[in-house]
């Protein structure tokens, strides 16, 4: 089939086409169309990205969209049209951390931003970021930042005074 045939209504798949080729084309086209619709200059040119980079970019986009919610690996896999095992392997190889570690890091960075604004309480931030309890949020924050949320707030206040 030739793409320059204006009367072409349907393309036929070649029998020797690489496995997963259709899916890569669909995913890349979807990312490209999203970037065109949004008109964002910050979105990388998806057509220049290797397939794994495009997949990781799509996963990161999903995680960022759900920063104030929850998302599971199954939901991500469904949205990117790949198996859960495959996306875990590709993401970990490319990003050097698991999808959920990256997601939690995004949430911790957002928590730090919100804490430094000093407009919401630690409890409000924990629930806004969909942590099940203030205790779990505090433990996760301390593990990430080596400070409790309260200690972090105090340190940002001191930084502003200096």
Question: What pLDDT score does 17 carry?
Answer: 72
Is residue 104 scored above 80 in pLDDT?
Answer: yes
Task: Give mean pLDDT, residues 46-57.
Answer: 70
Q: Average pLDDT, stretch 35-51?
A: 56
Rounded mean pLDDT, 54-62:
92
- Confidence check: pLDDT of 3 > 80: no
Element (DSSP H or E) covering residue 122: helix 122-128
Q: How far, in Å, CA of 63 to CA of 76, rounded?
A: 8
| % pLDDT > 70, the chain | 84
- Predicted local confidence at residue 158, as pLDDT: 65
Q: Given the structure tokens 């997949």, which residue do they identify?
A: 55
Q: How many helices (H) and strands (E) does the chain have?
A: 8, 0
* Predicted TM-score of the model (pTM): 0.66
Confidence of residue 159 (pLDDT cuts 50, 70, 90): low
SS3 of residue 99 by DSSP: helix
- Asked whether the beta carbons of 97 and 105 are under 8 A apart, the reply is yes
């Amino acid at each position: 089939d030739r793409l320059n045939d204006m009367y072409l209504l349907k393309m036929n798949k070649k029998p020797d086409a690489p496995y997963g080729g259709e899916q890569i084309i669909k995913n890349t086209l979807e990312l490209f169309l999203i970037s065109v619709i949004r008109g964002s200059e910050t979105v990388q040119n998806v057509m220049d990205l290797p397939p794994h980079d495009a997949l990781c970019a799509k996963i990161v986009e999903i995680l960022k969209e759900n920063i104030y919610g929850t998302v599971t690996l199954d939901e991500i896999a469904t949205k990117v049209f790949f198996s859960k095992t495959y996306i875990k392997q590709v993401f970990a190889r490319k990003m050097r951390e698991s999808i959920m570690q990256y997601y939690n890091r995004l949430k911790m960075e957002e928590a730090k931003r919100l804490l430094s604004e000093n407009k919401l309480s630690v409890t409000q931030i924990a629930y806004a970021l969909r942590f099940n309890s203030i205790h779990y949020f505090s433990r996760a924050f301390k593990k990430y930042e080596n400070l409790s949320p309260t200690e972090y707030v105090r340190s940002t206040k001191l930084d502003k005074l200096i």
